[in-house]
Structure 1
Amino acid sequence: MRYLFSLIFLFSMGFSGLQAQTDSVLFKNENLLIGEIKSMDRGILVIETPYSNVDFKIDWKEIKRISSSVNYLITLSDGRRFNGSFRSVSDSSVLINSYIPDNILKIGSKAKNIEEVGASGVEVPIGSIVYLNALDEGFWSRLSLFFDAGVNFTKANDLRQFTFNSGVGYLADRWKTNLNFNNLRSTQSKTDPIKRTELAYSFNYFLPKDWFVLYNLNMLSNTEQLLDLRASNMVGIGKYLIHTNQTYLGFQGGVNLNNEKFSTDPSSSQTAESFLAAQYNIYDIGDLDLLSTVTAYPSLSTKGRVRSDIKFDIRYEFKFDLYFKISTSINYDNKPTEGASKTDYIFQTTIGWKL
């Protein structure tokens, strides 16, 4: 009898746990997974289940049908954004029960019920959904965070190099913001120390059809180009031309106001530039993630001056959100200050963690 009651207890606990998990995912091979859908980004769905200590990560292309009654921030490949729940109505389409958000910054963990705010249904192809994030999780579910570091030592010339990168971001219903920090320190016998520090803040407000307006504030200090500080204020507009679960390609352009202070000149100078940038990201290649960014700055105040920045990252992801990254960054100025180099570049290999 004691064993019978034990079995009944275990069964009831397992059944109540499944009842609490209202989300379902049906694979193309007809396997069914019940749990709590947390997010989907870059073609990978994250779902939590009561019978596993770690979240499952599922390729979005392998999903046949999906359903959830929880409210999500939903982004489509054509740039449309919705707040609401969703469920499959066929093997190829999903019905989104959307509502209009009324909070600029969601701090709490409760979202209004769809029926309370006036729902409307939108049917879309399942392959057009490129982003999901559970709104009921509150502020922390919208936060992103990463940091990585690398150290190099060489006995022959007594080289010691330290690299540290970090970043934090927040994604709201209609805007996103990011703050990134990059620091490099290098010492070598019989040469001057190399120092490079960069702080970058960005704010994007999303418009229809995958357009967005932007404001970027970049601060760069670089001993190779004798740059004590360059503060850049960039205002412009951008658009994602390609935005899928495999890749995205975006362009942006606008004006940039610089305040530059060089170590060879006690005074600072103000310059105006236009800018044109392109960013290409590929992430449907297993655990690899490739990101490249090219930005050109034709000067509006100094005739013939052109600057450019090129960045390229390769990231390989391990378990537990750990990753290994190889990155390079090139800064070019065809009219640098006297005594400075036209080109500066860094090459980094780091190990990091992301949230």
Structure 2
Amino acid sequence: MAQNDTIVMDNGDKFIGEIKEMKNGVLTMETDYSDSDFTIKWTHIKKIDSDQYYLLTLKDGLRLNSDLHTKPKDTGVVDVKNLDKITTVKIEDIVYVKAVKTTFFSRLSASVSVGYNFTKSNSLSQFTVRSNIGYIADKWGFNGSYNSVRSSQEDVDETQRTDANIGAKYFLKNDWFVMLSGDFLSNEDQKLKLRSTIKGGLGKYIIHSNRVYFSANSGLAWNNERFTDAEEQNRNSLEAYLGLEINMFDFDDISLFSNITAYPSLTESGRIRTDFSLDLKYDLPLDFFIKVGLTHNFDSKPVEDAAKVDYIFQTTFGWEL
């Protein structure tokens, strides 16, 4: 049945195969007559017919499960099921499509990229990793990331910086969501043995289209800090937070993902922290890519002799699932 999915393009081209997924404005389709999957721009599709069961997300944030069938005499318009009712939507108003299967790996996405530099003159070597993982279910989603830089140089102590994140979202009506996440940072420049920030709050997608996702979220965070200097006591604080996130894609082979979060402290007067990250990715054949990443951290009141600002700039080569 899956190999009978039919796609007709706006120029009349017709494809028959198995629809896998549509995300970031690009549909992936497997066919019997090609060793590699076809990738098709979603907005160029005028007719689609499939009896498969899909997880769909619409432009207004509505999430539902349905098959996909274009109305017979109205190309560009699809009938989808919502609570046993038929809803008519435009193809361009569908921003995410995933063939729903029972296996865990069918709903999993992941990428990892690495970089290495070596300079003979001072025996400087640097190894960097930038990675992420995600899982999407009918009403909730999970994501995680891990970034690390390790540098060693002759007659100099090894330096390292590591940040990681794990989080989950539960999707509500009208593009609202509830979120819970944990951020972790180890940073020698700011004398942080480990900073753990657990936060929970409410968010909304302000823009949700086939080219751009833009969301805002806010809530409360609990911050715990342990330091590399043994004389510094552990520090805890309650913070508010406000975050913005943007994901831009379907710009040929270039995509951009960025987020910024501000943490004004509620228990330490005058203290504010910010975390900022930006990833610019260029897609290569066979799911390989080149990525340029920037991560920036600011703390208005760090411990004594620690830097207020720290940042890393990474250029890596990787592969995505």
The yes-or-no answer on 1:68 pairing with 2:50 is: yes
Counterpart in the other structure of 1:243? 208
Aligned AA for 1:154?
A: T
Q: Is the 8 A contact 2:297 2:311 kept in 1?
A: yes
Aligned AA for 1:254?
A: G
Aligned counterparts of 2:301 and 2:233: Cα–Cα separation in 1: 18
Distance of aligned partners of 1:278 and 1:285 in 2 relative to their CA distance in 1, 3 Å threshold: same
Of 96, 112, 117, the match for 1:152: 117
The yes-or-no answer on 1:53 pairing with 2:18 is: no
| Worse-superposed segment, 183-192 or 58-67 | 183-192
Counterpart in the other structure of 2:10? 28
Unaligned ranges ≥5, structure 1: 1-18, 100-118
Q: How many angstroms does 1:266 deviate by?
A: 4.9
Aligned counterparts of 1:132 and 1:39: Cα–Cα separation in 2: 5
Counterpart in the other structure of 1:97? 81
Aligned counterparts of 2:57 and 2:198: Cα–Cα separation in 1: 29
Q: Deviations over 1:98-125 (max 9, x none)?
A: 45xxxxxxxxxxxxxxxxxxx3211111
| Aligned positions of 1:96-175 closer than 5 A | 96-98=80-82, 119-136=84-101, 138-175=103-140
| Worse-superposed segment, 67-76 or 152-161 | 152-161
Q: How many angstroms does 1:263 deviate by?
A: 1.6
Aligned counterparts of 1:327 and 1:180: Cα–Cα separation in 2: 13
Please report the RMSD computed on the Cα atoms of aligned residues, expressed in angstroms. Answer: 1.4
Counterpart in the other structure of 1:223? 188
Of 57, 68, 79, the match for 2:61: 79
Unaligned ranges ≥5, structure 2: none
Q: Deviations over 1:299-320 (max 9, x none)?
A: 1111001111111111011111
Q: Is the 8 A contact 1:195 1:223 kept in 2?
A: yes
Aligned counterparts of 1:20 and 1:292: Cα–Cα separation in 2: 36
Q: How many angstroms does 1:156 deviate by?
A: 3.1
Distance of aligned partners of 1:20 and 1:57 in 2 relative to their CA distance in 1, 3 Å threshold: closer
TM-score normalised by length of structure 2: 0.96
Of 280, 298, 307, the match for 1:332: 298
Q: Is the 8 A contact 2:26 2:39 kept in 1?
A: yes
Of 257, 277, 291, the match for 1:291: 257
Aligned AA for 1:57?
A: T
Q: How many angstroms does 1:190 deviate by?
A: 4.7
Q: Is the 8 A contact 1:70 1:136 kept in 2?
A: no
How many positions carry a matched residue from both structures? 318
Give structure 1 regions of 4+ aligned residues with deviation exceeding 4 angstroms. Answer: none
Aligned AA for 1:283?
A: F
State the identity %. 42
Q: Is the 8 A contact 1:146 1:167 kept in 2?
A: yes
**Which structure has more strand as a fraction of its residues?**
2
Q: Deviations over 1:56-108 (max 9, x none)?
A: 00011111111110000000010001111011112231001345xxxxxxxxx
Aligned counterparts of 1:304 and 1:71: Cα–Cα separation in 2: 53
Aligned AA for 1:27?
A: M
Aligned counterparts of 1:20 and 1:125: Cα–Cα separation in 2: 23
SS at match of 1:21: helix
Of 262, 279, 286, the match for 2:245: 279
Q: How many angstroms does 1:137 deviate by?
A: 5.9
Of 160, 180, 204, the match for 1:195: 160
Q: How many angstroms does 1:153 deviate by?
A: 1.2
Counterpart in the other structure of 1:37? 19
The yes-or-no answer on 1:322 pairing with 2:306 is: no
Q: Deviations over 1:281-340 (max 9, x none)?
A: 211210001111111111111100111111111101111111100001111111110011
Q: How many angstroms does 1:165 deviate by?
A: 2.5
Q: Deviations over 1:263-293 (max 9, x none)?
A: 2235312111111111112112100011111
Aligned counterparts of 2:79 and 2:112: Cα–Cα separation in 1: 37
Aligned AA for 2:54?
A: Y
Counterpart in the other structure of 2:267? 301
**Which structure has more helix as a fraction of its residues?**
1
Q: How many angstroms does 1:192 deviate by?
A: 3.4
Aligned counterparts of 2:110 and 2:273: Cα–Cα separation in 1: 30
Aligned counterparts of 1:292 and 1:183: Cα–Cα separation in 2: 18
Aligned counterparts of 1:281 and 1:20: Cα–Cα separation in 2: 30
Aligned counterparts of 1:63 and 1:141: Cα–Cα separation in 2: 24
Q: Is the 8 A contact 1:240 1:250 kept in 2?
A: yes
Of 252, 258, 266, the match for 2:223: 258
